A and B are shown apart, each in its own frame.
Chain A
Amino acid sequence: MKKIFIIAVLASLMVSCSKVYEGQNVDPNNPTSVNAETLLRGIELANITVQVSHIQRITGMWMGQYKGAALLYKSLGEYSISGEESNDTWTYIYQSIAKQASVIREKLPSNKSYSGITKIIEANALGTAAALYGDIPFSERANDAFPVPKFDKQVDVYAGIQKLLDEAIVDLTPVSASAVISNDIFFAGKSTTWLRIAYTLKARYFMETRDYAKAYAAALNGINALTLSWKFFPPALVADGDFNLLNTLIDQRGGYLATAGSYMHENLLKAAAVGNRNNTKTNEDARLKYYKITGTAASTELGVAAKNAPMPLVTYEENLLILAEAGLRTVGFAEGLLQLNKLRAVLKSNLGLAAAPATGGTILYEPYVAADFNPGGIENKGSLTADKALMKEIIEERYVSLYGTIIPFNDARRLRKTENDVNVPIPFTTPTATQHPERVIYAQNEINANPNTPKPLPDLYLKTQVNQ
Chain B
Amino acid sequence: MIKRFLFSFLLVLGCGFLSFAQQKEISGTVSGDDGTPLAGATITVKGSKIATSTGSNGTFKINLPGKSDIIVISFTNYISKEIVVGNLTTFNISLKPAAAELENVVVTVLGFQEKADKFGTASSKIGAPEVVRSGETGLLQGMAGKASGVSITRSTGDPGAGANIRIRGANTITGASEPLIILDGVPISNSEIHGNGSSSTGTGVVQQSRLNDINANDIESIQVLKGASASALWGSRAANGVLVITTKKGKAGGLNISFSSSYSVDEINRKHPMQQIFGQGSAGRYSAIATNSWGDKISERTGGEDVVSGTAYFQGYQTGNKYYAVAPGTAANVHGGKNSKNTFADKNFDAVFGKGHFWQNSLSLSGGNDKSKFFLGLENLSQSGIMRANSNYIRNSVRFNSDHNFGKYIKFSNKAAFINVKSDRIQNNSNTAGLYLGLLRTAPDFDNSDYIGSYFDANGVEFRNRHRSYRRYLGDNVQPTFNNPLWTIFNQTANSNVNRFLLSSEVTSNPFPWLDLILRSGIDASNDGRVYFFPVGSAGERSVGSYRNEKIGEIEKNIDLIARATSALSEDLKGTLIVGANANDRRREILYAEAKNFLDNINLQNFILSSDANTNVINSLLHRSSNRGYTTANLEYKDQLFVNVSGALEAASTISNNFFYPSADVAWQFSKLPAFKNEKFLSFGKIRLAWGKVGVQPTAYNFVTTYETGVYNAYDEGLATTNFGGGYRLDNVKGNNNLKPEVKTEWEVGTDLRFLNNKLSLSMSYYQNKTTDILLNVGLPPSSGFTSQYSNAANMENKGFEADLKYDLVKKKDLNLQVFSNFSRNRNKVISLSGTGTIDLTSQSVSSRAVEGYQLGVLWGPRALRDDKGNFILDANGFPNVDNEQGVIGDPNPDWRGGAGFSASYKSLDFNILFETAQGGDISQGTKSVLYNFGTHEDVGKEITLTETLKNVNGVSFPAGTKVRGNIGNYGKGNVLLDEAWYTSRGAGLGAAAIREFFIGDASWTRLREVSLGYTLSTPSFKKATKFSSMRFSLTGRNLFLWTDIVGFDPEVNQSGVNNGFGQEYFTNPSTRSWLFTVKLNF
Q: Which residues of A contact B (CB under 8 A)?
A: 1, 5, 8-9, 11-18, 20-21, 24-34, 38-43, 45-46, 48-50, 53-55, 57, 70-72, 74-76, 78, 80-85, 88-96, 98-100, 102-103, 136-137, 140-144, 146-149, 182-183, 185, 235, 237-243, 245, 248-249, 251-255, 296-300, 430-432, 441, 443-452, 457, 459-460
Contacts and interface: CB of A to CB of B under 8 A. Distances in A.
Contact of A53 (B621, B717, B845): B717
B986 A75 contact: yes
Given A16-B627, A18-B657, A432-B875, A142 B784 contact: yes
A245 B577 contact: no
B864 to A, nearest CB: 12
**Most A Cβ at <10 Å: residue of B291, B719, B778, B780:** B719
Shortest 6 CB-CB contacts between residues of A and residues of B: A75-B993, A448-B837, A72-B991, A41-B727, A142-B785, A450-B781
The secondary-structure label for the interface of chain B is loop
B728 A42 contact: yes
Contacts of B967: none
A13 B629 contact: yes
18 contacts: A17-B651, A21-B653, A30-B701, A33-B707, A41-B724, A50-B714, A71-B291, A83-B884, A90-B783, A102-B785, A143-B784, A148-B781, A235-B724, A239-B541, A248-B717, A432-B954, A449-B778, A449-B836
A17 B630 CA distance: 13
Given A16-B628, A75-B989, A432-B955, A5 B714 contact: no
A92 B712 contact: yes
A413 to B, nearest CB: 19
B710 A46 contact: yes
Given A46-B712, A444-B886, A12 B718 contact: no
B727 A42 contact: yes
A137 B781 contact: yes
Contacts, number: 346
Interface string B797-833: 0000000000000000000000000000000000000
B305 interface: no
A249 B656 contact: no
B986 A31 contact: no
Given A25-B700, A248-B718, A449 B781 contact: yes
A235 B720 CA distance: 12
Contact of A38 (B580, B583, B726, B984): B726
A239 B597 contact: yes
A42 B729 CA distance: 6
Contact of A146 (B719, B784, B885): B784
B975 to A, nearest CB: 18
B654 A183 contact: no
Contacts of B649: 13, 16
Contacts of A55: 714
Nearest to A244: B717
Contacts of B630: 12
A13 B712 CA distance: 49
B784 A74 contact: no
Contacts of B706: 27, 30-32
Contact of A149 (B631, B724, B781, B837): B781
Given A13-B629, A27-B704, 20 more contacts: A14-B629, A15-B581, A16-B650, A28-B620, A29-B620, A39-B728, A42-B710, A45-B712, A45-B720, A71-B990, A72-B990, A75-B986, A81-B993, A94-B782, A99-B785, A147-B781, A149-B783, A183-B727, A299-B478, A449-B778
A457 B883 CA distance: 12
Nearest to B481: A254
A242 B721 CA distance: 9
B862 interface: yes
B534 to A, nearest CB: 11
Contact of B714 (A25, A54, A147, A185): A54
Contacts of B862: 82
B577 A241 contact: no
B551 interface: no
A188 to B, nearest CB: 11
B701 A449 contact: no
Nearest to A141: B783
Contact of A147 (B625, B652, B780, B885): B780
Contacts of B712: 42, 45-46, 48-49, 92, 96
Nearest to B986: A80
B724 A242 contact: yes
B365 interface: no
Contact of B781 (A71, A82, A446): A446
B634 to A, nearest CB: 13
B222 interface: no
Contact of A137 (B704, B783, B838): B783
Interface string B760-783: 000000000000000000111111
Contacts of A137: 781, 783
B65 to A, nearest CB: 41
A213 B170 CA distance: 63
B884 to A, nearest CB: 5
Contacts of A57: 715
**Most B Cβ at <10 Å: residue of A144, A297, A459:** A297
Nearest to B597: A239
**Most A Cβ at <10 Å: residue of B658, B712, B779, B882:** B712
B933 interface: yes
A39 B709 CA distance: 9
Nearest to B567: A1
B989 A72 contact: yes
Contacts of A41: 721, 724-727
Given A95-B787, A297-B479, A254 B724 contact: no
B530 interface: no
B1066 to A, nearest CB: 14
B714 A88 contact: yes
Contacts of B675: none
B701 A25 contact: yes
A205 to B, nearest CB: 19
Contacts of A245: 717, 719
Contacts of B629: 11-16
Contacts of A38: 726-728
A397 to B, nearest CB: 28
Contacts of A49: 712-714, 719
Contacts of B432: 252
Contacts of B990: 71-72
Contacts of A449: 778-782, 835-837
B651 A18 contact: yes
Nearest to A441: B884
Contacts of B651: 16-18, 20-21
Contacts of B718: 240-241, 248
Given A49-B719, A450-B783, A100 B730 contact: yes
Contacts of B63: none
A239 B993 contact: no
Nearest to B706: A30
Given A100-B729, A241-B718, A248-B716, A74 B985 contact: yes
Contacts of A1: 565, 567
B876 interface: yes
A39 B727 contact: yes
B708 A45 contact: no
A48 B597 contact: no
B992 A82 contact: yes
B257 interface: no
B224 interface: no
Nearest to B614: A238
B340 interface: no
B291 A70 contact: yes
A81 B579 CA distance: 61
A76 B884 CA distance: 12
A223 to B, nearest CB: 23
B989 A71 contact: yes
B707 A30 contact: yes
B717 A9 contact: no
Interface string B559-575: 00001010100000000
